[in-house]
Structure 1
């Protein structure tokens, strides 16, 4: 889905307890902080004053960081509380960073479609994140320009085109069968109660691994790679020195840990890359007999505009990690929310099962079938409207100072599009808080999720930086939900009368209480 969580973006920004604890600075740190503060106050402002969108007043130097920390809320919750007061566009000052929040479909369209070229950049990266992106050498972190064009064109044409995606049909079918088997095995030992997110996430990760490296792997290897990439994501969670670089001397342990995680990532992924390279250089070897085409094959000799060299080993590791991380948690999260909605509203589940049954009869549903199921497609669209996996699309920046809604957008500002609010705009949707697939099924309401014909929801972003994994992401969601509903009837476990839809932020916005579901084989 969003094929990168490796760039610094506010979709993963949460002031957790551990992050808030950094405000309890030592005496030395406080003296340093105050000294720098006094120096900053003594300087005269030389830059031209800009007209930023309105926002809550902040403190000198730290801006709104203390208010955010003291609220005890995660970033998306804090923004949601500010929206009624400040409207469709407002700004926050988080330390040295200016953050502009956009919450309306109209302004998202103005920025990302009408002024798409200007708003197609990415903000500057913290030094730690640059380590993992190989200095912005990934599709989603790259500066808008020739490197980005080369990387994105390669990913879309070489791997994520509709034709290429169809080539991996057998891989997906194998992963679906594996998922059903895992669910059955777990249910046998737990009286029918299974963990949805854990099992779905594993299935998605297996698909992407096969697509990336072109070979099947043992479960131990899969788990090792997954754990390594999770460590990467944890390391990339925002820190206080992201917003107050003056405090960076006090984060030496975190920087050291980041280098250690990067080394672990290199040691885990690089052998897979080298094994693939060796096999391609020896096409008649036994290793190539079971190999299929892979994303990695498109990267070895990739030509980048304005650059003579092919990607380095570190850059290959970053690109493969982006491919794997970007499509795993986003897809799995969407499916967890989807299954929760099917349990909450059994009438929707029954309607979906009837459509599957009438479409395929007694045979196993296939991905070719899902496009022939209008109710499944309506359900998926409503799922992405109500539960976009990340509540902010990846951070945008302007290529040059610009205007939006009459306000100034500085070149160094992070522009954040609040997808959760855009998909629930009351001027766009009737009963926006209600989960209702019929709004799409009956045609009373509709939305182009690509944004080409208008912006009403942005689960994948829109415009020039729209997620390149849109097609494959929706395919995985539809196919997994269809297979799970075809095989099993889903309900809440006996110990839980009502599904808890409270949200919390991990790498994506997930259910605070992970979904445990009772499943019963269909007869």
Structure 2
């Protein structure tokens, strides 16, 4: 009897062991299947996929996506990063899961260059909402943009006159230098109530170099951001360069603010943007106040993003048209029919220039100012296309790759504005709702300056096309169209061109 009881107990123990073992393995299999990460490259020990990105990460990620698919997972040091490479994948993250990916991961660029207090890299919360609100209300929103339209007209007039004078001397025009000079003054008129640079020269060129350096260094994949214990070593020298650049910008911004305060009595009640945000440093019924550091960081965002991203799009568009003279001629013909040659283009003319609008869209597609969207990070674990995305995963959307995808665009390497002239593509808009074309991003963290960027590109590019005939400098038979990676996609070799007036001489008078 005792032996029977012992046998039954042993049998029961074995059964229980088998039950729990089977249950454990079954649950493990289900658990793993439910938590399957997206496919992606294996990467290197410790560094993960960082060495695979090279000097042109947008191109490397585009090529990797051909192998691993539209949702790809890369181990980046101690972090995970998911990459969306198609319109549907971008929509899943930036629309369906927008709120979950509304924060930014910490990085050296925001901490060092952005004072660890800027709007662009701030977490999605009360201060970010507040700064975005006052920026829209007083500078970037529809009414605010209408209110400072006259500054755009005045500053573009100065630029046209400088180009007109260069044409008379048969000198090539350095396009990015001209654009920075004009656009920094446009933004300066709104923020400071005055021109930042009275004349184009060493000061405006130094400012442009600083902006390009900021956009380049802030866009690099810094090893210290992905492997924190290596950050003190600054293996790539990125952070030491950022610290030097930060000191230059801080001196410039401090000088701007001090001069602005010293001339307050001259404005006689005419408040500019800096006057308004300074008030919020003293009191704000909504609860949020801005420190001097917040204000400097906000000005840095507005001056750099307000000049560099739009100017790069304009430069790429002009370069493409110099490569394709038939497109330039067709734009001239359309403008001559709608505007004539007796006056300058006005912002209200843009709506009547469908082919020119198609040129802008085609430039956004082939040369988006931001090739990879500014990084986001998941607040909670989630699922996309059946794949598990852990909490704390960085998100990168390859905007450049979507624009080059042959499954989305026919002959994507060709610059062909006609693709936007008919059919479904004619209705595509770059403001963040059509995920085939999202040069400014999408969702809650879409670029705050989207409206301003589109207006500046339309107005300045349209005016430059309408006002001048364009030719390559003597001895130059072909343009270098290579890219330099950063937050903004620069032309490696700045565009220089010969221009000749095509309007009545009165159109160039200030």
Match of 2:120 among 133, 140, 147: 140
Counterpart of 1:504? 484
Shift of 1:419: 0.4
Counterpart of 1:358? 337
SS of match in other structure, 2:280:
coil
Counterpart of 2:229? 246
Match of 2:44 among 59, 66, 69: 59
Match of 2:311 among 318, 329, 332: 332
Shift of 1:432: 2.7
Match of 2:295 among 292, 316, 325: 316
Q: How does 1:405-424 map to 2 (within 5 A)?
A: 405-424=385-404
Pair 1:194 & 2:194 matched: no
Counterpart of 2:273? 295
Match of 2:97 among 103, 109, 115: 115
Shift of 1:164: 0.9
Shift of 1:138: 2.5
Shift of 1:406: 1.8
Counterpart of 2:188? 209
Counterpart of 1:384? 364
Match of 1:83 among 53, 65, 74: 65
Alpha-carbon distance in 2 for matches of 1:385, 1:84 = 19
Alpha-carbon distance in 2 for matches of 1:307, 1:130 = 26
Alpha-carbon distance in 2 for matches of 1:265, 1:60 = 38
Note the residue ranges of structure 2 that are not aligned, 5 or more in a row: 1-30, 504-510
Distance 1:250-1:408 versus aligned 2 partners, 3 A rule:
same
Pair 1:435 & 2:421 matched: no
Per-residue deviation, residues 60-80 of structure 1 (Å, max 9, x unmatched): 2111233445xxx42122112
Q: How does 1:267-282 map to 2 (within 5 A)?
A: 267-277=251-261, 279-280=263-264
Distance 1:419-1:266 versus aligned 2 partners, 3 A rule:
same
Alpha-carbon distance in 1 for matches of 2:423, 2:79 = 43
Note the residue ranges of structure 1 that are not aligned, 5 or more in a row: 1-47
Alpha-carbon distance in 1 for matches of 2:91, 2:270 = 40
RMSD of aligned C-alpha atoms?
A: 2.8
Question: Does the Cα contact within 8 Å between 2:119 and 2:297 map onto a contact in 1?
Answer: no
Shift of 1:300: 1.8
Q: TM-score, normalised by structure 2?
A: 0.83
The structure with the larger Rg is 2
Question: Does the Cα contact within 8 Å between 1:112 and 1:462 map onto a contact in 2?
Answer: yes
SS of match in other structure, 2:410:
coil
Alpha-carbon distance in 1 for matches of 2:496, 2:311 = 14
Q: TM-score, normalised by structure 1?
A: 0.81
Counterpart of 1:521? 501
Alpha-carbon distance in 2 for matches of 1:211, 1:64 = 43
Question: Does the Cα contact within 8 Å between 1:88 and 1:102 map onto a contact in 2?
Answer: yes
Distance 1:89-1:254 versus aligned 2 partners, 3 A rule:
closer
Aligned length: 463
Structure showing greater relative contact order (alpha-carbon pairs closer than 8 Å, 6 or more residues apart): 1
Shift of 1:185: 3.6
